[in-house]
Amino acid sequence: MQSASERTRRGIIRVFTECFANKWFVMTLCERLSVRRKIRHSRKSSRDRVIKDLKEYILSSSEEEATAVLAVIDYEKGRMRPYIDALLNEFLRTEKQRIDNSLVVAYERERRVVVIVFDPNIEEALLCRADRRLCRDKDLLRRIKSKRGPEFLQGRLRNNPYIRSITERVAKTMEELLQ
C-alpha cells in the first residue's frame, strides 16, 4: 500500500485560487511538491467564490477525484476576518498552523483539505517582503494582478530567498498534513 505522500506525489491536487498572485504561489508550491495540479481560477474569482466552490467540491466529490484539495485566499482586513473563519468552520473541521505572522495554513486531515490564507493579503504577506518594488511601483502591481501575473512573478521571484524559504515551510507543512 502506498503512503499518503506517495499518492499525493503521483496524484492531482485540486486547487481553487482567489487571484492571479495566489495562482502563482500554488504553481510554485506544486512545483516544489512535485505534484500535478488542476487549478480553478478566472478573472471573476473572489474569496467568496473560492470558498463557495471549495465547499461545493468537498461536499459533492468522491475521494477518487483528487488526492487533495487546496484553496488559497486572502484574509483581508477588518470585519471580513470573522466572516472567513465562519465560512471555513461551517463545512470544515479545521486546525490551523501559522507559518509566520502573515501566513496561516488551515487544514482538515480527514478530507485532505488545505486552505492557505495570506494575512491580510498576498501582496503584503509575501510579495512586498520578497521585493519591495512590487508594492511601490503601480505598474508592477498592475502586472501582478493581470492575467500574466503568475508568469511575471515566476520570472521575477524564482530565485528569491524569502520566497524559497516560505515555499519550503508551506511544502513541509503540507507534506506532513497529507501523509
pLDDT at 42: 72
Phi/psi of residue 2, each to 5°? -75, 145
- Whether residue 59 lies inside any domain: the answer is yes
Cell readout for 51 is 470558498
The answer to the question of residue 70 being in a domain is yes
Residue 39 has a pLDDT of 85
Which pLDDT value is given to residue 51?
87
Query: Given this model, what pLDDT does residue 21 score?
Result: 95
Spatial neighbors of 80 by CB under 8 A, at least 6 apart, are 47
pLDDT at 47: 83
pLDDT for 63 = 57
In what order do the strands lie in the sheet containing 68-74? 36-40, 12-17, 68-74, 113-118, 103-108, 95-100
- Identify whether the C-beta of residue 127 lies closer than 8 Å to the C-beta of residue 135: yes
Q: Is 178 a member of any domain?
A: no
Cα–Cα distance, 141 to 152 (Å, whole number): 11
Radius of gyration of the chain (CA): 15
The angle subtended at Cα 173 by Cα 167 and Cα 109, nearest 5°, is 135
Per-residue pLDDT, 45: 79
Task: Note the pLDDT of residue 2.
Answer: 45
> Cα 90–94–100 angle (5° rounding)?
125
Residue 38 lies in a domain: yes
The whole-number pLDDT of residue 64 equals 61
Q: What is the pLDDT of residue 16?
A: 93
Residues 153 and 3: their CA atoms lie apart, in Å, by 33
CATH number of the domain that residue 81 is part of: 3.40.980
Q: Phi, psi at residue 44, to the nearest 5°?
A: -85, 0
179 part of a folded domain: no
Asked, as a colleague might, if the bond just before 82 is cis with ω within 30 of 0, I would say no
Instruction: Give the residue numbers spanning the domain of 25.
Output: 4-172
CA–CA gap between residue 100 and residue 116 (Å, rounded): 12
Domain count, the chain: 1
Intervals of the chain under pLDDT 50 = 1-10
pLDDT for the residue 9 = 43
